[in-house]
Chain A
Amino acid sequence: MSFDAQREKIKEICKDLLEKGLVETVIGYAEGGIDGARIPYMFGTPEGAKALCWDQRCVVNLCTYAYEKRDRKTGVVAKPCDVRGIVNYIAENQLNRENVYIIGVDCDGMVGADGEKLPWCAECSVKKPPVYDVKVENPDITDGESAKKEEPSSMPGDFAKFQTEISKCILCYSCRQACCGCYCPVCFMDRGVPNWQPAEPGQGAKMMYHLGRASHLAGRCVECGACERVCASGVDVRYIIKEATKFIEDVYGFRAGFDTETEPVMAAYDPGDREIGFLGGEKHE
């Protein structure tokens, strides 16, 4: 099944949802970006479905919009990473399952303006939506190993690389705003009491921010790449977050955004949990 066939199916589903009044709004993609990029598109009438797009330039993670519209029933054209974001919201009690209708679309990865697969898509191994209300399959796409396996970095050996990477950061916090895991009404970095942000806007503040954000995203990152895509400074924003994701998977066997029922790993406590997850616990081999 090609993109075209998937797109026609998506249109049909969305039109139907609105005709039957099952949702108030549908969030999908339409034309309108520069260089052929697709942009988020929200509509509330069956005719609106005609303008829907689906191709390799549907990059934006739409789950943040579903979160914005959490007070009403919304249909979302969701790639596997968008689905994982939605599932994460649901598992963390931020979104009612009944308020979101997931149109899960098989996805083999998106490309940039240069036609090259985006770095996070090249690393992605989740190509089929883990949760959905209706799915738009593509039999040519199979879940499995990602084309490009990232070599795990070995903290703290790569601390120097981390330092160099974040030295490029200008602390604009755009990565936080773009992230579906960063929904706190007031971020720790914006709090005055206590003031977590080191006084001078230098390397210390950048470390505080990136380490803080990475630890808050441990076991919550859905690997959508939104944070890295928005960064104007070309920071490898996910560098340390990937490390946290891997740690959580190794130690607790948990990956975020796969089912709505399992308690999020960082919210759950089991006396049998391995010591390694605690400060001062056994050393990370």
Chain B
Amino acid sequence: MNNSFVSKETLNKILKELAAAEDVLLYAPVLNGKVLDFAEITDAEKIAISDDISYKSPKEAFMPQAENLMTFSEGGVLESAYDKKTVVFGAKPCDAEALRVLHAVLMTGKFQDPFFERRFENSVLIAVGCASEKPGCFCTERGFDKEFSDFSDIMLRRDEGGTGYTVTHLSGKGRELLSEFNETKGIEAAKRTAKAQGTGMKKLELDKSIEDRELFDIIDWDKATEICQGCGMCTFICPSCHCFDFKDVSTFSETKRYRCWDSCMYPQFTLHASGHNPRASVKERFRQRVLHKYLYINKIFGYTACTGCGRCIRSCPAGMNIKKIVESIMEVLP
């Protein structure tokens, strides 16, 4: 770790340069009407720096909603090129933690995802610590520090005077990007409130040794999911949801292969060609969503695929609350 300081003015200058740079894609929070969005930026003036959390997550920068992977034609197979550097500015610590999950699933398992990998390797994640928890946030209960995540390349924390940010470089990539701008070297290893990892409180998570069948029976999933409308919004805005589908698009001369986000909350997700659907209703779908996040990914990769960002709770049109559901599971377990 290596700490320094950056003033607001300098940061603005850096962002302006990044936004203008042809070979850099800059993603940042931006106000879209009343909604705080996370999007590609070309005009640094548009960046909305605030403590608020964006409705959508920054995962799009690493896994776009629709990505053209390759083109087939008589000339052969052409993989789509991707050579831009991506800078993601203004992600929250929970977003960085979500990237840790995506990285584990897509890059460390039995199969590697080259398309995610090239975006990941080409990116610099600049996270900004949160001053407060927003309604619905539960990162602390999940054991994270709302001000810090070491899965970012650069971690910024507002300094108390409000003149700028304490910068913690966590990777070579991060150091490189900001090297010319370090204003004060060697600031004390940030006055970080070390109440990280939710000390003193029971962490919201499920024991890996639990058998899912057991949970199928001891939880009244009908009751737990009766208000869910199956809209799927929770999965699209979740920073750690990563299920996808492929789609081939043909014209007379070529076929393009896309990868698109998919959602376990959609009926088509598990629909068999025979017409049979093993997850026939919202009950099975939502149960899968919770257990995939809290149990299955944990069993395989050692992480829970929920960072407590609260996006699904804030965006749910029905008022479903994943935190309460996990709490209720924890309550009935021995």
Contacts and interface: CB of A to CB of B under 8 A. Distances in A.
The 5 closest A-B pairs by CB, nearest first: A39-B319, A177-B231, A234-B35, A199-B249, A174-B231
21 contacts: A32-B319, A32-B324, A33-B319, A35-B135, A37-B319, A40-B227, A40-B318, A41-B227, A42-B226, A60-B317, A60-B319, A64-B229, A113-B135, A170-B65, A174-B317, A178-B229, A199-B249, A230-B317, A232-B55, A232-B237, A234-B55
A34 B227 contact: no
Contact of B32 (A35, A41, A229, A233): A233
Contacts of B175: none
Given A170-B65, A174-B236, A34 B314 contact: yes
A148 to B, nearest CB: 16
Most buried by A among B55, B250, B260, B318: B318
B258 A232 contact: no
Contacts of B258: 200-201
Interface in B244-270: 247, 249-250, 256, 258, 260, 263, 266, 268
A232 B35 contact: yes
Interface of A: 32-35, 37-42, 60, 64-65, 113, 168, 170, 172-174, 177-178, 190, 199-201, 226, 229-230, 232-234
B313 A233 contact: no
B37 interface: yes
A229 B35 CA distance: 11
B232 A201 contact: no
A229 B34 CA distance: 12
B114 interface: no
Contact of B268 (A35, A64, A174, A190): A190
Given A34-B310, A200-B66, 18 more contacts: A33-B319, A34-B321, A39-B318, A40-B319, A60-B318, A60-B319, A65-B226, A172-B231, A172-B232, A172-B233, A172-B236, A201-B65, A230-B315, A232-B55, A232-B56, A232-B233, A232-B237, A233-B32
A277 B68 CA distance: 41
Contacts of A199: 247, 249-250
A234 B227 contact: no
Of the listed residues B318, B319, B321, the one surrounded by the most CB atoms of chain A closer than 10 A to its CB is: B319
Interface string B153-190: 00000000000000000000000000000000000000
Nearest to A229: B317
B65 A178 contact: no
Contacts of A34: 135-136, 310, 313-314, 319, 321
Contact of A174 (B65, B232, B256, B319): B232
A171 to B, nearest CB: 8
A178 B265 CA distance: 13
B75 interface: no
Given A33-B319, A170-B65, A232-B315, A200 B232 contact: no
B231 A178 contact: yes
Interface string B218-240: 00000000110111110011000
B334 interface: no
Contacts of B263: 172
A178 B32 contact: no
Most buried by A among B227, B236, B256, B324: B227
Nearest to A25: B226
Contacts of A60: 317-319
Nearest to B33: A234
A170 B324 CA distance: 28
A54 to B, nearest CB: 16
A101 B293 CA distance: 39
B190 to A, nearest CB: 31
B8 to A, nearest CB: 27
Interface in B55-72: 55-56, 65-66
Contacts of B236: 170, 172, 174, 232
A232 B66 CA distance: 17
